[in-house]
Amino acid sequence: MITKTKNTELTLGMKAGIPIAIGYFACALTLGIMAGDAGLSIWEAVLASLCLNASAGEFAFFTVITEGGSLITMMLMEAIANARYALMSCVVGQKADKNLLGLRRFAVGFDLTDELFSAAVTRDTPVNLSFYGGMMLVSMPGWALGTAVGFLIGNVLPAFMITAFTISLLGMFINAIVPAAKKQPFLWIPIVLTMGASYGLSKIPRLAAQSGIRTVIVTIVIALLFAILFPIKNEEENA
């Protein structure tokens, strides 16, 4: 009975992972092109996708490599780009199955992405390794395959098409910003300030070619400023 239930959950997870894998494939095409521009081999690009499996994280990763940034810059960029996963892991931990312990939790945490997180926590059942593992089995190859294909086509496509693919990556960031800003219009203030500050720092000679360092400076300063001046109150404080 237990084995049957696990097999059913695994199958459901794989079915849920199919549309996610398709989206990952399309998204990773641009990252594969970026990896080629950064001077990585196709195997290094695929390995990066299998280990990171995060669009913002890989974008930061390949950008720092392209600019010849330091390891410290790389670590700060990855910490900022992937900070939300720390909060998401707490939610998964609260809704985890009682058997999701030890290495099983590490397995889920290894591939905690926005899409897999949403699919797992919106179910009526607790998060379990069988369902989550099924999604991982399908989605991770989709991301890696998209990176490999993007790497290969980046060597044969005309320059204007490569530029178009690169610009399409910005759509993911816009898609993440606009819905949240519509719900809370106040967010447009830090968004606009961040854009302006980043542009201003790009005019400083020593920071002009270091977008990674600019991102770290702007994110920390503006996030800290707004956290101090406009803290988010919890429900008890609002009451």
- For the chain, the DSSP string reads -HHHHHHHHHHHHHHHHHHHHHHHHHHHHHHHHHHHHTT--HHHHHHHHHHH--HHHHHHHHHHHHHT--HHHHHHHHHHHTTHHHHHHHHHHHTB-TT--THHHHHHHHT--HHHHHHHHTSSSPB-HHHHHHHHHHHHHHHHHHHHHHHHHTTTS-HHHHHHHHHHHHHHHHHHHHHHHHH-GGGHHHHHHHHHHHHHHHTSGGGTT-HHHHHHHHHHHHHHHHHHHSPPP-HHHH-
213 and 104 in a common domain: no
Domain that holds residue 150: 2-183
Same domain as 227, residue 147: no
Q: How far apart are the first and last CA of the chain?
A: 48
Last residue of a domain, one of 164, 183, 202: 183
Co-location of 41 and 138 in the same domain:
yes
Burial of residue 146 (CB within 10 Å: 0-12, 13-18, 19+) is buried
Question: Of 166, 183, 200, which residue sits at a domain end?
Answer: 183
Radius of gyration of the chain (CA): 20
Give the CA dihedral 122, 127, 132, 135, nearest 10 degrees: -10
- In this structure, are 178 and 225 located in the same domain? no
Do 118 and 62 sit in the same domain of this protein? yes
Query: Number of structural domains, the chain?
Result: 2
172 shares its domain with 190: no
CB 42 within 8 A of CB 50: no
Residues 23, 95, single domain; the answer is yes
**Does 223 lie in the same domain as 170?**
no
Q: Verify that 108 and 199 share a domain, yes or no.
A: no
Is pLDDT at 238 greater than 60 in this prediction?
A: no
- Whether 234 has a pLDDT exceeding 70, the answer reads no
The pLDDT tens digits of the residues spanning 126-171 come to 888 889 999 999 999 999 999 999 899 877 766 666 666 656 556 5
Judgement on whether residues 136 and 164 belong to the same structural domain of the protein: yes
Say yes or no: 29 and 147 in one domain.
yes
In tens, the pLDDT along 57-75 reads 888 888 888 888 788 888 8
Give the residue among 19, 17, 34, 16 at the shortest CA–CA distance from 147.
Answer: 34
Q: Are residues 17 and 68 both part of a single domain? A: yes
Q: Answer whether residue 43 shows pLDDT above 90.
A: yes
Final residue in a domain of this structure, among 138, 153, 183: 183
Confidence label for 1 from pLDDT (cuts 50, 70 and 90) = very low
